[in-house]
Structure 1
Amino acid sequence: MTKEEALELIQNGDLIELGKMASARKKELHPKGITTFIVDRNINYTNVCWVDCKFCAFYRHAKEDDAYVLSHEEIDQKIDELVAIGGTQILFQGGVHPKLKIDFYEDLVGHIHEKYPQITIHAFSAIEIDFIAKISKISIKEVLERLKAKGLSSIPGAGAEILSDRVRDIIAPKKHDSSVWIDVHRQAHKLGIMSTATMMFGTVETDEEIIEHWDLVRQLQDETGGFRAFIMWSFQGQNTQLMEEIPDIKKPSSNRYLRLLAVSRLYLDNVPNIQSSWVTQGPYIGQMALKYGANDLGSTMMEENVVRSAGAGFRMAKDEMVRLIADIGETPAIRNTAYETLEIFA
Structure 2
Amino acid sequence: MISYSYMDSIKNKVKNGDTLDENEIVSLYDSANLKDLGKLARGITDEISGNKVSFVSNLILNYTNICNVRCHFCAFYRKQDDSDAYTLSIDDVVNEIKKYYEPYGIKQLLIQGGVNSFLNLDYYTGLFSRIRDEFPGLGIHGLSTSELHFISLKAHVPVKDLLIKLRENGLQTIPGAGGEILDGSVRKKMGRPESSGKEWLDIMEEAHKLGIHTSATMMFGHLETSMDKAHHLLSILELQKKYHGFLSFTPWNFEPGNTELAREGYKYRTGGISVIKNIAIARIVFNKELPVIQSSWLTNGMQMAQMAILFGANDWGGTIYDEKVIPATGKQVGNLRKEFIINSIKQINMIPVERDNMYNSIKTY
Query: Structure 1 length as normaliser, TM-score?
Result: 0.96
- Secondary structure of the structure 1 residue equivalent to 2:252: strand
CA offsets, 1:41-96, max 9 Å, x none?
Answer: 11111111000101111111111121111012221122112212111111001100
Residue 241 of structure 1: how far off its partner (Å)? 1.2
2:294 and 2:147 map into 1 onto residues whose CA distance is: 23
Counterpart code for 1:326:
K
2:318 and 2:191 map into 1 onto residues whose CA distance is: 27
- Secondary structure of the structure 1 residue equivalent to 2:293: strand
Q: Map residues 83-232 of structure 1 onto 2, 5 A cutoff.
A: 83=101, 84-174=103-193, 176-232=195-251
Contact 1:287 1:324 survives alignment (8 Å): yes
Q: Does 1:255 align with 2:266?
A: no
- Secondary structure of the structure 2 residue equivalent to 1:251: coil
Partner residue of 1:304 out of 300, 308, 323: 323
Counterpart code for 2:307:
M
Contact 1:7 1:211 survives alignment (8 Å): yes
- Secondary structure of the structure 2 residue equivalent to 1:121: strand
Residue 152 of structure 1: how far off its partner (Å)? 0.4
- Secondary structure of the structure 2 residue equivalent to 1:274: coil
Count of matched residue pairs: 343
Specify the alignment match of 1:77 in structure 2.
95
- Secondary structure of the structure 2 residue equivalent to 1:273: coil
RMSD, matched Cα: 1.2
Contact 2:58 2:106 survives alignment (8 Å): yes
Contact 1:275 1:295 survives alignment (8 Å): yes
Q: Does 1:332 align with 2:357?
A: no
1:63 and 1:157 map into 2 onto residues whose CA distance is: 29
Percent of matched pairs sharing the same residue: 34
Contact 1:230 1:275 survives alignment (8 Å): yes
CA offsets, 1:243-293, max 9 Å, x none?
Answer: 112x14532110011111101100012111000011111110111100111
- Secondary structure of the structure 2 residue equivalent to 1:50: coil
2:195 and 2:115 map into 1 onto residues whose CA distance is: 12
Counterpart code for 2:92:
E
CA offsets, 1:131-188, max 9 Å, x none?
Answer: 1010111100111010000010000000111011011000123475211100000001
Residue 190 of structure 1: how far off its partner (Å)? 1.0
- Point out 4+ residue stretches in structure 1 off by more than 6 angstroms: none
- Secondary structure of the structure 2 residue equivalent to 1:228: strand
Contact 2:222 2:266 survives alignment (8 Å): no
- Per mean C-alpha deviation after superposition, the further-off stretch among 98-107 and 289-298 is 98-107
- Per mean C-alpha deviation after superposition, the further-off stretch among 236-245 and 166-175 is 166-175
Partner residue of 1:265 out of 272, 277, 283: 283
- Secondary structure of the structure 1 residue equivalent to 2:268: coil
Contact 2:256 2:266 survives alignment (8 Å): no
Residue 2 of structure 1: how far off its partner (Å)? 2.1
Residue 99 of structure 1: how far off its partner (Å)? 2.4
Structure 2: unaligned runs, 5 residues or longer: 1-19
Q: Does 1:57 align with 2:79?
A: no
1:173 and 1:10 map into 2 onto residues whose CA distance is: 25
Specify the alignment match of 2:260 in structure 1.
241
- Secondary structure of the structure 2 residue equivalent to 1:82: coil
2:326 and 2:162 map into 1 onto residues whose CA distance is: 27
Counterpart code for 2:118:
K
